[in-house]
Amino acid sequence: MNNKKYKKRPGLRQALFMLLLATTTLLTLTGCGQVFDWISERNLDPSVGVVQVRGLQEDVSIRRDDYGVPFIEAQSLQDLTFGIGYAMAEDRLAQMVSMNLLARGRLAEMTGDIALDMDIYMRTLGIPQIIEERYAALSPQLKQHLTGFAAGVNAYINSHRDRLPLELMINDYQPEAWQPANTLGLFVMLNLGVGFNLHEELGFLQLAEKLGVEKAAYLAPIYPDEPIDLAEANKLAGVDLSGAESPVAAVKEQLEYLAAVEQKLKRINGQGIAASNNWGVHKDKTAAGATLVANDTHLLLSHPSTWMLMGVKSPEYSGVGITLPGIPALVAGYNGHIGWGETMVMADTQDVFLEKLRERDGKTEYLYQEQWYPVSSRSETIQVKGAKPVTIEVQSTRHGPLLNAAIKGKPKHEMIAIPASSEFGLALSWTAQFPDNTIDSFFNLGKAKTMDEAEQALNGVGFIHLNVIYGDKDNVAWQVTGNYPKRKAGSGHFPSPGWSGEYDWQGYWGGADTPRSRNPQSGYSGTGNNRTVAADYSPRLTSSWYYPERSERIMQMLTQHGGGHDYASMEAMQADRRDILVAKVQQLWGTEPWQNMIRDGVNALPEQQQEAANKALQIIHEFDGEMAEGSRSAAVWGGFEHNLIRAIFMDELGPEDGHLWQAFLAMNGRAYSGYQDHLLGRTQGSNWVPFWDDINTADTELPGQIIARALAATWPYLQQQLGSDDSQWRWGDLAFYHWQTETTHMLPFLSGLKAAAVESLAEYTDRGPYPAGGNRNTLNVAGYDLGSDYAVWNIPAMRMIVDFSQPEPLNLIVAGGQSGNPASPHYDDGIQLWLSRKNRNLPLNDAEKVKAHFVNERVLHAQ
């Protein structure tokens, strides 16, 4: 067993032991569990009984099932939203509060300076202003809806002031009254979480500084059947990215600072993660003659889960499905008529513009089409718990806020990097600037009774870019949502010079003009963050599609099964762990040129290494691609990939802890990668793509030589990780799931007593680790940092199947428990269910079945 995977940080524990010996005033950590239990248990409410509340017209019923999932029923929409607010706060108040503070750039008010850089980032993006602008544009009906929800949340807060959730108690934080506009902030964070091109562009800048723009472009390929985006990269060919006066050199500290901030945001918000599978099967291709819709969204492995389950019923709005804490609407699910689920489009809706800046008469100006213009500026003051307030100056050009300006304001806090004198800025254009009706549209989607009504509702979703697959008993459809920028030139894949105006945005497109289909001739629709349109589709949705293997496996399994699909075949697809990249590699390596090249590479190794390489090669040739946790062959494949990516790229992008390697790994996890593109045999004209050669040797290596090295390294590497007896090697002893709270995820950014306290808290709040199966390419995804470690961070955060042949069509689980309270039985009871790769039915249509399933009733009684 590989003890490293448990991430217990023995060095930290030894330091903590010494600290405890030397510091008698430190809280005795052995007693913390009892204290945590006492706080958490006080926060628990009974699942049955009557609660007297103010603000209701009539009583509201909150029934819960054996997993704590609520079904909320009211006689009016206003009372229903109140009940949703109360039940949601009961389950996830701490999560709601922390996400709202993060969205508003106020998290440091609760957690102190650990969150200051994230607050600065949010304020720089102008998210608090976006929230208020979008709330002001809501329909009166929706404002009333959110006001009712806020009243329910506040009724819970006010009755629990002396027994708040654990996270709020240990931070000594009293939450403010929930505001109706807070829900808008969570939608904005959802958008930010599924937008990632900003990270790719910043990573590209750093790589291009060292490698040049053309070579760096090979680390951000579009798709295996499309050419490398050299035309886009050459936008920057006239900019000296490696010279002393280069934009990258000038803002290098800002780039590294932003990378650190984004790492925190990734852990908290899932920012920049490729997410999800969905598919639909038309009734003609099913055994029972009724449509099937399936969805599993891929998000961070977090605890509590990103999603929560909920059933709701009123005369105006009913359904069962998933939602986000703080959003009183179903994001995916079934409403009695329509079932729907979504994946990321991978939309490129964020562009970085390099700006030439100068200081003149104490003011900052930027160059645009040979004229100098003053930047706009605003001051932001951030309250920091336990410290003085921090004031920053946020500067903007016509292209958007300057990201580096966020850390140039005065006064500077000690945590914030102090940049060198800079002549360049990084301005961000983002589709958040465009008006839309996303929130209203999501509510309308939940109320849709027909396919046409669902399509019309989705036309109004502008701020979130999704592949929605939806259907009723007789139909199935796919539709892209969102607003997309119209660019004068370029694709937006890589950063653009801002001073020429050549790459400016000219408004946006979207709405009813997005790609879609209904009842396709094949009978199947499916997406997996893949390219869903023709390579030359215009206007361009994105250049950053995810690896194609998941979507290919979806269609492979749908078509192989024939016309008899049913619930069982849908569940089997969601459980599938076959990586079809393995078969592609086997086919490539079986061709004569590659077979000879790899054989020659192995034969050139020392004899002992030849033996190790041949053993690994034989297993890979015979491997069926099933990444099961108990598979020895999967462990060999996983170990080989770890060594191959390092063998190809580490010589030019290392060291391992350097910013280039980290940028490269991040890009690999967000879109189709340079690693997989090399592995699949891309050529550069008549030459091999550039990174196969080891620059540390005098010779020019061929792919076969680098593959041979990786094969030879795999065996001793796995012996070190898993032990000398290779018959006992198992993939699940490398790859693992670990349910950790967002507090635990902050450990890398803490030290001393704070780290010790969080370590102690983690022993109480975290669950696992558990052996994992799958990888980045499998339908049952298990994404980890390839070439780094095997800690799985990208998982199916929910799994849903809507089987319209059944009286109660919806089957749905989330990756964890319903409750955020560690003392609740529903804090972690969903983990084993999720690990089983099975699903469970949640009724809606039959009142008696609802009562039989949701057996525990609590009534909010109107005073």
HEC string of 117-138 equals HHHHHHHHHCHHHHHHHHHHCC
The closest alpha carbon to 300, from 689, 827, 796, belongs to 796
Q: Which residue has the tokens 């490269």?
A: 664
Closest CA to 503 of 540, 465, 461, 462: 540
User: What are the structure tokens assigned to 478, written together?
Assistant: 């796919």
How is 309-335 classified by DSSP, letter by letter? Answer: EEEEE-SS-EEEEEE-TT--S-SEEE-
CA distance 855 to 63: 6
* CA dihedral of residues 688, 690, 692, 698 (deg, nearest 10): 110
Distance CA 134, CA 2 (A): 50
Determine if residue 201 is labeled as part of a ligand binding site.
Answer: yes
Q: 3-class SS at 644? A: helix
Q: Is 289 left (phi over 0), alpha (psi -120 to 50) or beta?
A: left
Closest to 400 (Cα-Cα) out of 485, 299, 319? 485
What does the alpha-carbon distance between residue 294 and residue 46 come to, in Å, rounded to a whole number?
Answer: 34
Contact 674, 220 (CB under 8 A): yes
Give the DSSP letter string of 502-534.
Answer: TT-EEEEEEGGGS-EEES-TTSEEEESSS--S-
Q: What is the distance between the alpha carbons of residues 656 and 662, in angstroms, rounded to a whole number?
A: 7
Query: Per-residue DSSP letters for 382-428?
Result: E--TTS--EEEEEEEETTEEBTGGGGTSSSPPTTS--PPP-SEEEEE
**Burial class for 76, CB neighbours closer than 10 Å (0-12, 13-18, 19+):** middle
214 is in an annotated binding site: no
Q: How far apart are CA 18 and CA 130, in angstroms?
A: 48
Q: In angstroms, rounded to a whole number, what is the distance separating the alpha carbons of residues 222 and 217?
A: 9
Rounded to a whole number of angstroms, the distance between the first and last alpha carbons of the chain is 59
How many whole angstroms separate alpha carbon 734 and alpha carbon 602? 26
**CA atoms lying within 13 Å on the CB side of residue 817:** 23
Query: Can the peptide bond before residue 140 be classed as cis, meaning omega within 30 degrees of 0?
Result: no
User: Omega of the bond prior to 539 within 30 degrees of 0, cis?
Assistant: yes
- Identify the helix (H) or strand (E) that includes residue 366: strand 363-368
* Alpha-carbon distances of 539 from 241, 483, 489, 516, 545, rounded to whole Å: 29, 11, 11, 15, 15
Which among 40, 61, 246, 276 is annotated as catalytic? 276
Beta strands in 54-175 (DSSP E): 60-64, 70-73
Q: Which residues contact 288 (CB under 8 A, 6 or more apart)?
A: 566, 805
Number of neighbours of residue 3 by Cβ within 10 angstroms? 9
Question: Taking the CB of residue 607, how many other CB atoms lie within 10 A of it?
Answer: 6
Output the CA–CA distances (angstroms, integers) from residue 255 to 170, 247, 252, 415, 426, in the order listed: 33, 11, 5, 15, 9
Residue 658: count of CB within 10 angstroms of its CB: 12
| φ, ψ of residue 305 in degrees (nearest 5) | -60, 155
Q: Provide the β-strand partners of residue 229.
A: none
DSSP bridge partners of 737: 770
Q: Confirm whether 302 is a catalytic residue.
A: no
Annotated binding site: 201, 348, 351
Residue stretches of the annotated binding site for Ca(2+): 201, 348, 351
By annotation, the residues acting in catalysis are 276
